[in-house]
Amino acid sequence: MSTSPPSENLAHAFHVDVKQIVDIKLDDSSDQNANQIAISPISKDEPLVTRRELWSYYLYSNGGNGVGLGYTQTLFQGLATAAGYDPVAGPGSSCLANTASGQCVVHWGSGTKSVSSVVLTANGVSFAIMTVILTTIGSAADYGTFGRWLLFAITVVCWAAQYACMALTTPNRWVLAMVLYIIGFVTYSVTLVFYAALFPRLARNTPRARRFREKYENGEIPPEVYEQEESLEKNRITDIFTVHSNVGFVTTLLLNLALLLPMANNPKVDNYVLVVVNTYWVVLGIWWCEYALAGLSGLPAESLPVVFQEPRPGPELPKGEHYLTIGWKQIWAALKTYKHLPYTFVYLFSYFLLADGLNTTGTLIAICQNDKFSFSFLQNTYLGLSQAITSTISTLAFWYIQRYWKISTKKMFVVTNVVTILIPLWGMIGIWTEKLGSVSFNLFHDTTIPLRSALGSTTAYNVMFGLFQAPYYAYSLTMMAELSPPGFDNMFFGLFGLSNRASSMVGPNVIQVIIDKTGNNWQGFPFLFAMCTAASVVIWFGVDVTKGRSDAVRWAAEQRRHIH
């Protein structure tokens, strides 16, 4: 793999940290050198990660578990359905009547649009906004304390949008519900991206990682062993993060039942549930935000009694650059040198299509699930519990298996990936046959006992999702951490955010056209299955994590050396 110096313009687009140690050779572009182990650089002055600091991150993920976002979509779709009419019966009819055809449209511009398409449109708009945010200021988060302030500000906006849902009490406010859903979806997704970008740096500075680093530098262990242990440390942090998110998922849902069961007949109970969900996140997430609070109060963070984070600022913004423009410059510079990071960009592109397919599949199933259960927060809570409990168990089980047998991240990712793409396959088969033997393939097909069949199949979906999708998400994060150039984590996790949270610009637009033409939500599954399968095959056979990690370390070091 060639490691010749990139252009002068590229060099000036990146920062340099002269204190970092880079244990690689940069003057040999032979294949043999490309296969050598490259050790990630660290800063000797960076503080050690403490248990309290890690727990502040874990508590944030525990609170920000995504339950509120799911409830917001249910509320939005329910209000839009209540405000719409059955196109078969004509204007003035109700979509919720016993004689309704099952189709529902709302006024949209000069015409009408199905409620399912409106929800997919809201998701498409959200993904477009995320794209602008992540490309414009994603890379800027690598500099100074901008990333900390950015994450804090976006978190507060997300909290505000969730609390504002208290105003969504009548069907004529469905447009406001759509706006609040988009704001909440965008801000929540962006917090996940910038939050996950912190994990590689944390993993390199835990006490365990530092001990293995010292052993490596003292010649006590070979680079292969250190690389493996650092990789396992990244997996440990992402897996614990995922477990905490699911524990918070379970806890929040159980708290919700304390409202949903005794207040089942209260018309505002759904709004109260959203307040509880959001307050849970605020109470647990505030410990992560104490540095920002210190800045707001004008006091040094060290003077506050609840400071859990250690100072980990990035380098200063290069002279003459601006936070709103440097992101585009860095992304363009990185794209021009994609040949130096082939496996990183193959993974990003393939994951873009994979996440697009899986995210759209999840949205489509949520739409049908909400429709079948009459937008019931209570029913969705029960289904969420089945997903959250299995997610927690499976993430711990996968981590134990990986740690015990020291299995690589990619192999674990492939196992979870194979099962997740079976979900759109399940829905696709259900188009042509409702049953194969005793197995139901139409997730929400109607039989003589429609509620039982719908409930059983949706529970099966949520259980399967929990068993494999939670570990899949954790390992996809670790894969990105392995392939990201050290010191440029926010930049590449911003690109990963485009591939993950902001990827669904293709799927929703194609699927809503299919739904509008066929009137059948399930006709979109063949397209989604083909997209997911094609992307998965490329990742399985086209991404070499070991070589990609070496390329990433060399690439990062090249930028620093060229400037220095």
State the SS3 of 7-47.
CHHHHHCCCCCCCECCECCCCCCCHHHHCCCCECCCECCCC
Closest to 318 in 3D by CA, of 4, 3, 10: 10
Task: Give 500-559 pLDDT, tens digit per residue.
Answer: 765 566 787 788 888 878 877 778 888 989 999 999 999 999 999 999 999 998 888 887
Contact between 187 and 501 under an 8 Å Cβ cutoff? The reply is no
The secondary structure element, H or E, covering residue 239 is: helix 223-260
Give the three-class secondary structure for 275: helix
Closest to 428 in 3D by CA, of 471, 363, 365: 365
pTM: 0.78
Instruction: Give the alpha-carbon dihedral of 486, 505, 67, 152, to 10 degrees.
Output: 50
Q: What is the pLDDT at residue 505?
A: 66
Q: What is the pLDDT at residue 135?
A: 85
What are the average pLDDT values for consecutive 10-residue runs of the chain, which has 564 residues? 37 36 39 46 72 88 93 94 95 92 92 91 88 84 79 92 96 97 95 86 88 90 87 90 92 93 92 96 83 48 50 76 82 81 94 88 77 74 89 93 92 90 79 49 40 57 85 92 86 82 70 81 85 94 93 83 56
Terminal-to-terminal C-alpha distance of the chain: 23
Q: What is the pLDDT at residue 170?
A: 96
